[in-house]
Amino acid sequence: MNQIGVLMTYPMFTHLEKELENRYKLFRQWTLQEHELEHLLEQNAHMIKAVVACAEVGINKKMINLLPRLEIVATFSVGYDKIDLNKCIENDIKVTNTPDVVTEDVADLAIALALSTLRKICVCDGFVRKGLWKIGDFSSNVSFKFTGKSVGIVGLGRIGSAIAKRAEAFNCPVSYYSRSRKLNNNYKYYTNIIDLAANCQILFVACSLTEETRYIVNRDVLNALGREGILINIGRGLHVEESELVSALLEGRLGGAGIDVFENEPDVPDQLFGLDNVVLLPHVGTSTMETCTEMANLVIKNLEAHFKNGPLLTPVL
C-alpha cells in the first residue's frame, strides 16, 4: 500500500497522521504554499488516490480537478459541508465521515456550554485567577440555574437526542424543531423554529448544515428567544447569522450564548470578547483523546476497506 498516495488537508490528530504515514505515502497540504501544493499535486497526481479532510479544510472542485486518480475522500468529522459533493458524484469519488462516535462528546459539551454560560464559570475563573477575590467579593455577580430551564433543540438527530437525554436529567422540559416529527419520544414538537425559540429558555442548535439550515438562527429567532434566553451552538457556524447574534448580545436582546463553532473560523467577532455572558470555544466539540482516536481509526478502516474493494463502514457517497 506504500505506493498509494494520501493527501491530508490539515493537522487533525497525531495518531491519525502516524497511522496514515505507516500505511501510505502521505502528503501534508498545510505545510505548503498554494503554488507549492499545485506543483506537488502535478508531480504526484498519478499516485494520490485518497484525501483525508476535516471540518476545517475539505476539498473543492479545483483540488479535485488536480487529482484525476482520486478515489475516496475520508473526512475526520461528522460534517462534510467543506467537501464538494456534487463534484465527487460527478467523478465517482467515494466520501466517508465519522458519525456516531462523536455523539456523546458533542452532547456533553453542549450541556457544559449551557452550564458555563448560565453559571458564569469562565467569569468566576477569571475573577479568582486575577486575584480579585482577595480584594472584593463576587456576590453581586449572581448567575442563573440550569436545572428546570425549558430547553429547545433544533434538530433531533443523534446529537440532538443525546442533548435532550442529558437535559432531562436536569429536570428540563424538552421541545424541538426538525423537518418532521420524531415518533420515538414524548418531547413537544414545533413546526417552526420561531415558535420553538419563543417557548424555551435555552436553544440548542444541533442540526446538520444544509442550504435550508444555513442561517436558520436569524434576527427573528434571536428576538423570539429573548433577553433572558440563551443560545448554544455546537452545530456549524453557518447555522447562526453571526452579525445578528453580535447585535442581539450587545443590545441586550439576548441573554447570553455558548458557542463552539463560528461563521468564519478561526475568526471570531472582536465584540464578543468583552462580554461576560458569552462562552467561546475553538471548535472542540469532538476533541477528546478517546473520541479522536475512534474517529482516526474509523478513517483508517474506511480507507483500508476501500482499497481492499470491501464495503465502506460509514459512507456518505
Check pLDDT > 50 for residue 59: yes
Query: For the chain, where do the domains classified as CATH 3.40.50.720 start and end?
Result: 5-99+290-307, 103-280
Q: Please write the tens of the pLDDT for every residue from 135-185.
A: 988 877 899 999 999 999 999 999 999 999 999 999 999 999 999 999 889
pLDDT per position as a tens digit, 68-82:
999 999 999 999 999
* Nearest in space to 260 (alpha carbons), one of 247, 279, 241, 288: 279
Rounded distance, CA 77 to CA 98, Å? Answer: 5
Residue 134 scores a pLDDT above 70:
yes
* Domain at 5-99+290-307, CATH from 3.40.50.1980, 3.40.50.2000, 3.30.1600.10, 3.40.50.720: 3.40.50.720
Q: Please, what is the average pLDDT of the chain?
A: 96
Query: How many residues are given for the chain?
Result: 317
Q: What is the mean pLDDT of residues 202-210?
A: 96
The three cell numbers locating residue 35: 503554488
Residue 106, pLDDT > 60, answer yes
pLDDT of 117 above 80 = yes
CATH class in words for 103-280: alpha beta
Q: What is the pLDDT of residue 49?
A: 98
CA dist 69 and 221 (Å) reads 45
Catalytic residues: 236, 265, 283
Question: Is the pLDDT score of 284 beyond 60?
Answer: yes
Q: How confident is the model at residue 2 (pLDDT cuts 50, 70, 90)?
A: low
| Predicted local confidence at residue 3, as pLDDT | 86
Q: At what angle do helices 103-119 and 158-169 cross, to 10 degrees?
A: 50
